[in-house]
Amino acid sequence: MVARGSEVRPSAVRQSSPRDARGRGPRPSMGRLAGLGAGGAALLALLTGCDVGRTFDGFGWPQGGISPESHRMYDLWIGSTIAALAVGVFVWGLIFWCVIRYRKRGEALPVQTRFNMPMEFLYTIAPILIVAVLFYYTAIVQTGVNKTTSNPDVTVEVVAFKWNWQFNYLDKPGEDANTVASTLGTTEVIPILVLPTGRSIRFEETSKDVIHSFWVPELLFKRDVFPGNVRNVFEVTNLDTEGAYVGRCAELCGTYHSMMNFELRVVSPDEYDRFIEAKRAGQSTQDALVAIGEPPLAQTTRPFDTKRDTNNFGNASAGS
């Protein structure tokens, strides 16, 4: 019904015909190829939520995410990589098998024009299936990561400017909200964004001048901060691990872009409530941090010394 190996390669007819007589032809390949798409899908589904990636150092993807969104993106990466490796191993196997099984056995050239319709069909369908499965999971994860709600537990306005950050705690989402408390970074003090575990958090970003980018590596996510009354909004379902995490500007925004750091300090909900109370009572961010038993200054980064007077502008006497 279809071209067998013996028909494709007349020069190898003598060697391969007994094998072909046992029915070796396109059918086993068809089964394997058909199983590939389904196998990839099953593998991806199985590995979502699995921690196979830890064994292989995350396959290059950063580990240590602190939000459900970061875990889902990590799982998508691990699942996609495993599926890609499975396809890769299968293809490498086919290549080596062909190289050995159909190696040169004589001077006669094999027939150069043959096709095998079921194989051609599967070569087209299998990649489409694989891409469809990858697209499905990507769309699901992306939609989840970008999802916003109307009633988050905490809303914080992120204001970026050259070259620092201001964080305003709002009483509700939206531009007409009131600022409950505020933290402003300066040349001497790294701004600390204090947030609680276990609560949904909405970030509303806006810039005073140029495009910046709000990036906390442990969120495995960065989002541009635009000027001109544009509010770029994203949310995390919750933060799951207390600690101090460095935050950076991830969009080249000018001379001191590389120094535009901040710190995300994740504390317990109770400590967060007391922090906000202390801020509302008029305390500085540093005093409020001490009041809840936290270090007052950033632990993960420090203000940069620009050495502007002594070195950059050649005025040696100004710095001494």
Residues near Cu ion, by CB under 5 A: 212, 249, 253, 260
Shortest distance (Å) from residue 156 CB to Cu ion? 18
Shortest distance (Å) from residue 260 CB to Cu ion? 5
- Closest to Cu ion by CB, 249 vs 267, is 249
- Closest to Cu ion by CB, 77 vs 262, is 262
Shortest distance (Å) from residue 279 CB to Cu ion? 25
In whole angstroms, give the CA distance from residue 311 to residue 308.
Answer: 6
Shortest distance (Å) from residue 30 CB to Cu ion? 55
- Closest to Cu ion by CB, 48 vs 232, is 232
Shortest distance (Å) from residue 259 CB to Cu ion? 9
- Closest to Cu ion by CB, 243 vs 303, is 303
Phi, psi (deg, nearest 5) at residue 29? -65, -40
- Closest to Cu ion by CB, 224 vs 242, is 224
Cβ-based neighbour number of residue 99 at 10 Å: 9
Strands ordered across the beta sheet of 261-267 = 192-196, 261-267, 243-249, 212-216, 221-225
Shortest distance (Å) from residue 164 CB to Cu ion? 9
- Closest to Cu ion by CB, 129 vs 253, is 253
Name the amino acid, one letter, at 144.
G
User: Whose CA is closest to 250, among 221, 208, 228?
Assistant: 221
- Closest to Cu ion by CB, 72 vs 212, is 212
Shortest distance (Å) from residue 134 CB to Cu ion? 33
Q: Residue 302 corresponds to which tokens in the numbers above?
A: 């420090």
Cβ-based neighbour number of residue 98 at 10 Å: 10
- Closest to Cu ion by CB, 74 vs 262, is 262
Shortest distance (Å) from residue 160 CB to Cu ion? 6
